[in-house]
Amino acid sequence: MLPMRDEHVTTLSAMESDSLALAVDVGGTKMAACLVQSDGRLIGSQTIPTADGSAEDVWQPLATLVREIAARADRPLLGVGVGTAGPLDLAGGTVSPVNIAGWREFPLARRLAEVLPGVPVRMAGDGICAAVGEHWRGAAREVDDVIVLVVSTGVGGGIIQRGRLVTGRTGNAGHIGHTVVDLGGDPCPCGGRGCVEALASGPSMVSYAVRNGWVGSSAVELADAARAGDKVANQAFERAGHAVAAGIISASALCDLTAAVIGGGVSHAADLLFPPLKRALEEHGKLGFLRDIEISTAALGSSAGLVGAGALVFEPERYPSAARLVHV
């Protein structure tokens, strides 16, 4: 038996439980930073728009924000945890986020370590951080074998197996958005076809509906239309729910999972997404160990990534991060 959640928390040393982590969340449109307590509570979260321009143009506002947040710490900083849009090279600590043109192989982990000398930096992808956050202090906290999906502009996620984050060789394991659920299906932003993301992300649902005669431009409008009885809008959610279910069943067949937690913007349309998703789970999950996979919505909302970034610092054994860097 693995230790239960609360037993594990009490194993944090007095020094760790008295310390703070500094969490950073890097996205294509905004960046956020805050302090995190060992109980997962966020202190003084601040968000800035992601700057355009050169690598330094993007970096300087984030460096200023991180210095400001660090200056507010009234206890020792145990480390910096970073969740970032990808792709990343976790071994080298560099990031090349698709939506941040100025950062190509930008040495984010090293630059952060230079801002806070002596403080270790741990980094992971944003989907992984959201999954870790939900497992550490959110909807998946009592579950040892679970996949957390973030269904939003893209589809990301992470897998916890036997109570421990599965990172894989490069730190990208658990990328449920690019598991293939429709052979020869729609093109995916990754360059492939038929991925979960190609059917279930907000933009892919809107694109499918527009191709089939629906008039509108956002996933929120699409949800409103579906609730008002629009047939094509409902088909878009039906397809998305089926694709997410196929991804969950595939991941569960490989990793012997018992539960899935769904977060991200599309989870606000759980009333539309969950009924087809649950029907498809029953349709595909016939083997004994694939029956009764529990589905729930995420608990931490948009804070999950920051909470998870804090967890990388407080619980590196449970949530290992490929990038670990200290500037001395």
User: In the complex, what is the shortest distance from the CB of residue 96 to Zn ion, in angstroms, rounded to a whole number?
Assistant: 17
Whole-angstrom Cα distance, residue 32 to residue 37? 16
116 φ/ψ angles, rounded to the nearest 5 degrees:
-125, 80
Whole-angstrom Cα distance, residue 311 to residue 321? 10
Stretch that binds Zn ion, among 57-65, 132-140, 172-180, 280-288 (CB under 5 A): 172-180
Secondary structure of 283-297 in the HEC alphabet? HHCCCHHHCCCEEEE
Stretch that binds Zn ion, among 69-77, 181-189, 220-228, 248-256 (CB under 5 A): 181-189
Q: Which tokens sit at 83?
A: 């969740």
Residue number, 51 or 190, with CB nearest to Zn ion: 190
Q: Is 188 in the site for Zn ion (CB under 5 A)?
A: yes
Find, among 73, 83, 63, the residue nearest to 35 by Cα.
Answer: 73
Q: Is 195 in the site for Zn ion (CB under 5 A)?
A: yes
Q: Which of 178, 239, 242, 284 binds Zn ion (CB under 5 A)?
A: 178
Residue number, 188 or 325, with CB nearest to Zn ion: 188
Stretch that binds Zn ion, among 48-56, 83-91, 190-198, 221-229 (CB under 5 A): 190-198
Q: Which tokens sit at 224?
A: 């409103």
Stretch that binds Zn ion, among 64-72, 115-123, 174-182, 303-311 (CB under 5 A): 174-182
**Under rule CB under 5 A, how many of the chain's residues touch Zn ion?**
5
Residue number, 160 or 196, with CB nearest to Zn ion: 196
User: In the complex, what is the shortest distance from the CB of residue 92 to Zn ion, in angstroms, rounded to a whole number?
Assistant: 24
Buried b / exposed e across 142-181, counting CB within 10 Å, b at 16+? ebbbbbbbbbbbbbbbbbbbebbbbbeeebbbbbbbbbbb
Binding residues for Zn ion, rule: CB under 5 A, are: 178, 188, 190, 192, 195
